[in-house]
Structure 1
């Protein structure tokens, strides 16, 4: 119709009723009715009305789309920034489609979680500690028969009361030194000992104090040239270093500076260790692999005077395959043994006339029986709960400290990383706590996973220099290792974490780092009391380490055997202090693991958390701010909106960063592949809980910030395994065994001390 029409409406010519019912035989659709005359918009409305087509979303009754309901003046203007964002998002989606990347939502297609009571609250003030020092008025170290020098040293170090295991074990070990005389014709016969107590109950002091007490009781003066009287074997370098430092710094330097301890561990210079052995030491702390090396190659090593053999964390010694090394050490001790009168001199009437072996651990599992057959003879079993004689099974005595609060959170695979970040954010907010800073240890399954989570949590952070002691600096200088070379080897182990909180430092520790770096990192983490500190580590830090003031332990990856759960959570709640442990599990079979660990905890100390509550607290608005402030500042991240939106943004930022940084993407890929391999090495007795075939690998890959399918990731991993077998088709059984062997080898490498 012409533009200058007079506005007169013409009659519409509607098709006959039969015509509208005709169906196109080819397409199977009703043909659109023809409308003649009038404006195009009016003709179109009449045509749609006759076909019965209306906008269901906006208004079914009116039959209009509603696209133009909002006045033009009130519509949100499309800025250049939003246009650029939309354009970049379109390009990113197109790039993802080209590369076969998958961008999935965090909160959709997640498996169902069993319903539990999340309203249970635990009154921590009413929890009575089970590993605290004995508060009996008559219980003190003097009553145990210790030397005055040791008592003064312990008092200065604020060790005023012994724990239960110390009260039971110290008098027994001291009494073994008396020889048969006219006044004492029937002294107690030396007898080997099993020592079992909860983590954090002071087992190290229970066997070190009697040894020093016997040496202090000598009538004649001894010096470093007198010989080695005690040998202490540990499974890890960190535990050996800790025991050595305790004996040297806390006891010998203060109570008996003429008694010299020594240490031989893997990762150190053998030349320097040989020099120390030649100069002479009285108490030797060692790891089995390095000690066997010295037995075979160091002529100045004399083991003929050893009267105390301590095997700390005996079950771990067996798990790590040290059985052959220990057998070699025992054979050498028996070969070099000499009677007291021949070699001990002034200590002949003080030390036992035969070697006493002590095996101690928080857990005494079945494999320790084999170790006991190699090292012990008619042992006496000492437990913090009861005293036993014989070889009874002690598995039912494996319990965590009563004051430890065990929290369990079941998280879908896709949300694992975001929920871990949320837990760490919440732990660094200590408004109601006496101490403004927290110390947290996070356990992961493998070193590659530690490396990935370290770079992810410290993204946009600053590197911190971990100071080494003078000896380590001197050794590094002699080796010609400058700072630039250290950086190239990936030895950065401490960085700030602005995404967690402004005053937080994250450390990493695993067996692939050099021994000097591991020692320096552990010392720096333990002594940092001016920041929120987080240590990402493997099980290399789960045994025996007495890290001070650990508030929280997070088991991000469940342990490979149930006994390791006790050792991990035992890094906190030590010597009667409070502690919290958080266990991450995935929905499905892993939830059965709760039944396995429940007997290890008091039923009143287990608490279940909802991952939604963790994310809402970490990423949601701060409820303490008033409404006016909330409108200005948003939440504590200075953002507006719901917590699930910010949690999704947090995850997407990680994924986009990995797409932009090729090296970070390689680390994430290696972390994912190594994690899956490690998952396949869970014990067969726990396969009902941890079955690698039941995992949704695509969802788990998202927890590592990866968008590619697991099949493509496996081909890109730098730890993909033997390239010679890549062209051959491998059976599912052989593939499972190969992955298990690789994971076991990776774990053993962390404890390789030779």
Structure 2
């Protein structure tokens, strides 16, 4: 013993503590199989399967059974629950149902290699950028009177020159009792004048009916009109969905005049069937530019010599998608084949020259270019235009419309890691409090992101179909809904995470084939929402021109690529004078400046909502009335962060166990980064892909891998089959992802998962 240790007395207790079992000395076990030797060894240590063990702490003191029950209740009845302390590591025992349907027990803790398969487990509520809530601006929110509502004065469709039979059909069958402001401005001009028009109006103001009604009425005045008389009007739209909607409006009008035959040609449909339709003859043709140009070249029976009206709807979007050259080709072909002068006496009620109509929300440089090649001496028509004055279009004034006055625009500034759980809380709140018959739209930046979030929120959901079943009491058949297990091709699935069969989620994006897109949109529009809430996960393919009924809330989960896209997205709600709410997700930091950027376009102002309030309401309350449940409700309200974390961890574990779902998450994350890089150059200071925290953003896709590991999925490996890298220097995964984003920005392909 050294001098320093001299006098040091060690006091070891040699008596066993009550309630503990002393370790037995175990000899070496030999013979038999490995399992037999292991079982014998455990039995010799008093650790056999049937051996009862006392629950005690590290000091050997028995733990109170009541305390044990309290802890278990706090953790929740589910074995997947994880109690997270404010200053302690998150640890939990989990029974997860893996692909082999066997329960696998594993223990997780936060940090590197703390999760299953040595994954990194990070906390939702730590290392987040501090957010300064702008509560002082909430007082600026003042909901104004509707700006796109039907007129309340004595103005009627009859008074604007609409034929009596057509006006009665609008009122009695289509429930259009009064015209809107833009209809009041456009109808007399197209009915009485032969001048090109530039129509600029808010979304949801009835613009489609404004240019369709005059064309339809002019054709009604031709007494001997039939489908073979000729093609008199062409309407071009940027998307197939908008074309289908305008065609359906025309079909509803034909119920009061069956002689008029509308037609439609769009991409994704069978060209053979479209050729047969054109061969039989149509009077009004709705088309997308690419498909119409194809038929002009390859369909000999398409006769454009009598076209009197040419409408370019959503002109700004037509230019954004690169249709300028195609439209110029169509305009040139129509002008070259025109034979209007030879038939003016045969059709005296029709214009003596072709009338061109351009509809656009903004007058920008690209729209100016489209206007210069399509319009001649055009008149600008807005909501405020009177029937007496004539305003000449001045393309040098880059004016833009605003959102509907009655729209409530909320802004949610939330850290990247909390995006997914915040979306879940919002949808929970909407479905819990939503009015019967209401619908919600959630916009994403790319189709891969739509696929991932759709799979997440419809996990273990059911697809359904309607079948006819004969009534037992009578011979009549009645419709019955049958639920089946959903598969990868399903686009309409119930959501157990948001309310089971009472909540139905649809998905829509441009990567789906045309038949599925048309069917999904039709089912969403006609869905019976008496006792259910309907949600649509979509890209900007559903943002333009579509008149979808009963949209009460629009959620912009990914920020729009331009202000125009933002106005069109929020324009799906607050239509025709009805109230509506829109909620925009933004990241803390640079993106917060986007709120000031869009503020001038919202007459009612912006309302900043703290994400904590959303999470508390979504994960900290239940619908309950009795006393016992009220206590539990209060307990959950206090533990909302635990409930939110548990929900998110369930998603992460599900991805670890389901390879298909995991691949969707990786693909969704990679496509989201590439899409983020395609924001306009003028907004690059707000949306800069280089400032993104890729690790935190990956967390919002339920991924535990670091961006370095995720880089493996973003492209083909450079390694050769023999394991060598071919002499090439390995590229940093983050730089690789940024390079791919830059390539996507340069390509600007219209089908790059944006439609």
Residues 1:122 and 1:643: Cα distance change in structure 2 (over 3 Å) = farther
Equivalent residue, structure 1, for 2:661: 664
Q: Is the 8 A contact 2:677 2:744 kept in 1?
A: no
| Structure 1 residue 67 displacement after superposition | 7.1
1:670–1:718 Cα contact (<8 Å) kept: no
Note the C-alpha offset of 1:316.
0.2
Pairwise CA distance, 1:464: 2.9
- Select the residue among 727, 738, 741 that pairs with 1:739: 741
Q: In the alignment, which residue of structure 2 is the partner of 1:589?
A: 590
Which residues in structure 2 correspond to 1:388-467 (within 5 Å)? 388-393=391-396, 395-430=398-433, 435-465=435-465
Q: Report the 3-state secondary structure (helix = DSSP H, G, I; strand = E; otherwise coil) of the residue aligned with 1:648.
A: helix
User: C-alpha separation between the residues in 2 aligned to 1:455 and 1:37?
Assistant: 62
Query: Quick check: 2:362–2:399 contact (8 Å CA) kept in 1?
Result: no
Cα RMSD of the aligned pairs, angstroms, is: 3.4
Q: Is the 8 A contact 2:674 2:740 kept in 1?
A: no
* Residues 1:491 and 2:489 are matched in the alignment: yes
Structure 1 residue aligned with 2:195, among 191, 201, 214? 191
1-side partners of 2:13 and 2:287: how far apart? Answer: 97
Secondary structure of the residue aligned to 2:528 is: coil
Question: 2:503 & 2:317 partners in 1: Cα distance?
Answer: 32
* Corresponding residue of 1:710: 707
Change (3 A) 1:84 1:728: closer
Which of the pair has more CA radius of gyration?
Answer: 1
Cα distance change, pair 645–328 in 1 and its aligned pair in 2 (3 A): same
Task: Show the counterpart of 1:158.
Answer: 175
Superimposed CA distance per residue, residues 2-53 of structure 1 (whole angstroms, 9 cap, x where no aligned partner) = xxxxxxxxxxxxx99xx6xx5xxxxxxxx69512789679xxxxxxxxxxxx
Relative to structure 1, the CA distance from residue 401 to residue 640 in structure 2 (aligned partners, 3 Å threshold; closer, same or farther) is closer
Instruction: Determine which of 228, 231, 254 is the counterpart of 1:228.
Output: 231
Distance 1:750 1:551, change over 3 A: farther
Name which of 156, 161, 175 aligns with 1:140. Answer: 156
Question: Which of 126, 136, 142 is 1:108 aligned to?
Answer: 126
Tell me, in whole angstroms, the C-alpha distance in 2 between the residues paired with 1:39 and 1:654: 49
Could you report, residue by residue, the CA deviation over 1:403-461 in whole angstroms, capped at 9, with x for unpaired residues?
Answer: 0000110010000000001001111122xx6x424300100000000000000011121
Aligned to 1:34: 8
CA contact (8 A) 1:555 1:582 kept: yes
Cα offset, 1:315, TM superposition: 0.3
Call closer, same or farther: CA 1:162–1:741 in 2, change over 3 Å: farther
Residue 335 of structure 1 corresponds to 336
Runs of 4 or more above 6 Å deviation: 36-41, 78-84, 91-95, 121-124, 638-641, 718-726, 728-735, 750-753
When normalised by structure 1's length, the TM-score is 0.81
1:526 to partner: Cα distance = 1.0
**SS in structure 2 of the partner of residue 389 of structure 1:** coil
Q: How many Å apart are 1:733 and its aligned residue? A: 9.2
Report the CA distance between 1:326 and its aligned residue: 0.3
Residue aligned with 2:228, SS:
helix
Residue by residue over 1:160-211, the C-alpha shift from the partner in whole angstroms, topping out at 9 and shown as x without a partner, is 11111110111011112xxxxxxxxxxxxx3211100000001101100010
Distance 2:509 2:727 in 1: 29
Which residue does the alignment assign to 1:579? 580
CA distance in 2, matches of 1:91, 1:159: 60
Structure with greater proportional helix content: 1
Distance 1:329 1:39 in 2: 98
Whole-Å separation in 2 of the counterparts to 1:262 and 1:719: 45
> Structure 1 residues 466, 294: closer, same or farther in 2, change over 3 A?
farther
Question: Aligned-pair distance for 1:127?
Answer: 2.9
Q: Distance in 1 between matches of 2:205 and 2:717?
A: 43
Unaligned runs of 5+ in 2: 16-56, 81-91, 96-103, 468-484
Within-5 A mapping of 1:95-494: 101-117=119-135, 120=138, 127-137=144-154, 139-156=155-172, 157-176=174-193, 190-218=194-222, 220-248=223-251, 250-252=252-254, 254-340=255-341, 342-343=342-343, 346-347=346-347, 349-386=348-385, 388-393=391-396, 395-430=398-433, 435-465=435-465, 490-494=488-492
Structure 1: tracts of 5 or more residues without a match: 1-14, 23-30, 42-65, 177-189, 468-485
The structure-2 alpha-carbon separation of the partners of 1:151 and 1:98, relative to structure 1 and needing over 3 Å to count, comes to closer
Question: 1: distance between equivalents of 2:12 and 2:613?
Answer: 61
- Map 1:677-716 to 2 at 5 A: 677-716=674-713
How far off its partner does 1:352 sit?
Answer: 1.3
**How far is 1:90 from its partner?**
3.1
The 1-side partners of 2:12 and 2:234 are apart by 106
What is the alpha-carbon distance in structure 2 between the residues aligned to residue 232 and residue 710 of structure 1?
47
Q: Is the 8 A contact 1:198 1:400 kept in 2?
A: yes
Task: Describe the SS at the equivalent of 1:88.
Answer: strand
Query: Tell me, what secondary structure is at the counterpart of 2:462?
Result: coil
Distance (Å, rounded) in 2 between the aligned partners of 1:331 and 1:354 = 15
- Is 1:427–1:438's contact at 8 Å kept on the other side of the alignment? no
The answer to whether the Cα contact below 8 Å between 1:147 and 1:217 also exists between their aligned partners in 2 is no
SS in 2 for 1:257: coil
Deviates more, 1:669-678 or 1:141-150: 141-150
CA contact (8 A) 2:446 2:753 kept: no
Give CA deviations for 1:515-556 in whole Å, capped at 9, x if unaligned.
111011001111113220110000000100000111010000
Provide the rounded CA distance (Å) in 2 between the counterparts of 1:84 and 1:377.
Answer: 73
Aligned to 1:47: none
With normalisation by structure 2, the TM-score equals 0.80
What's the CA shift for 1:746?
A: 8.0
Question: Secondary structure of 2:159's partner?
Answer: helix
Distance 1:515 1:720 in 2: 34
Give the match's secondary structure for 1:214.
helix
Task: Give the equivalent residue in structure 1 for 2:533.
Answer: 532
Q: C-alpha distance in 1, partners of 2:6/2:552?
A: 73
Give the C-alpha shift of residue 76 in structure 1. Answer: 4.4
Q: In the superposition, relative to structure 1, how do residues 623 and 149 fare at CA in structure 2: closer, same or farther (>3 Å)? A: closer
**Does the 8 Å contact 2:378/2:392 carry over to 1?**
yes
Residue in 1 that maps onto 2:563: 562
